Every structure is written in structure tokens, then in C-alpha cells.
Amino acid sequence: MPNAPPPTIFPAMSDITVGSGTITPVVNGEARSVSAGSTMGDLLRTLALDPQLVVVEHNRTILRDRAQYDALRLATGDTIEIVHFVGGG
């Protein structure tokens, strides 16, 4: 594993949970409980969504760079829209 990250005594930030343990962003119109500290990438993985097949809007900002999903920490009250292409004329 030549490309493995260097070992660290600190856990990854996404593994740290804070406070009560859950937060409730609003995803596609419905409040959803996720672990505190979750990122957008975590949410998509929890929902079993392929990031290549969806587009995400966070608090009315479209996330055009999928590489930023894992750096974006979610918070209670965040409004998240996850859309995709469906049949239409």
C-alpha cells in the first residue's frame, strides 16, 4: 500500500461525533437523522446513492465538484436537495 496515508494518533474528523450524537438536516423535503459530524459523502453512502448519478444542492448552492462531498460537514437545519435525471420530454 504505497499510497496509504501516514499513520496518525488522531482519528479522522468524520469519525468524531459531537454532542447528542445526531443531527437532522432536511433532505429532499424531509428531516433525516444522521450522526453528528457526518459529511455529504457520508449521507450519500448512507442512502446508497452513486455520486456520479446524482446532483446535490446544499443550502441552495449546487455542489459542482463531487470531490468536495467528503469535506462538507452537515448541520441540523441544512437544506439538501438530491436530484437526478428521470424520463421527460
Partner 1 sequence: MTTLLSPARPAEGLDTPFVIAGREFRSRLLVGTGKYASNDAMVRAIDASGAEVVTVAVRRVNLDRTRDEGILYHLDPSRFFLLANTAGCYAADDAVRYARLARAAGFNEWVKLEVIGDQETLLPDTAGLLEATRTLAADGFKVMAYSNDDLVTALRLEDAGAVAVMPLASPIGSGLGLLNEFSIRTIKHRLSVPVIVDAGVGTASDACLTMEQGVDGILMNTALAAASDPVRMATAMRCAVDAGRLAYLAGRMPRREVAVPSSPTEGLLE
Contacts to partner 1 by CB under 8 A: 27-30, 47, 49, 53-55, 57, 62-64, 81-89
Q: How far is the CB of 59 from partner 1 (least distance, A)?
A: 13
- Of 9 and 53, nearer to partner 1 (C-beta) is 53
Number of residues in the chain: 89
Distance between CA atoms of 11 and 79, rounded to whole angstroms?
28
Q: How far is the CB of 25 from partner 1 (least distance, A)?
A: 12
- Of 18 and 33, nearer to partner 1 (C-beta) is 33
Pull the grid cell for residue 84.
Answer: 437526478
The dihedral region occupied by 19, where left means phi > 0, alpha psi between -120 and 50, and beta the remainder, is left
Q: How far is the CB of 20 from partner 1 (least distance, A)?
A: 23
Contacts of residue 68, defined as CB under 8 A and 6 or more positions apart, other chains included, come to 40
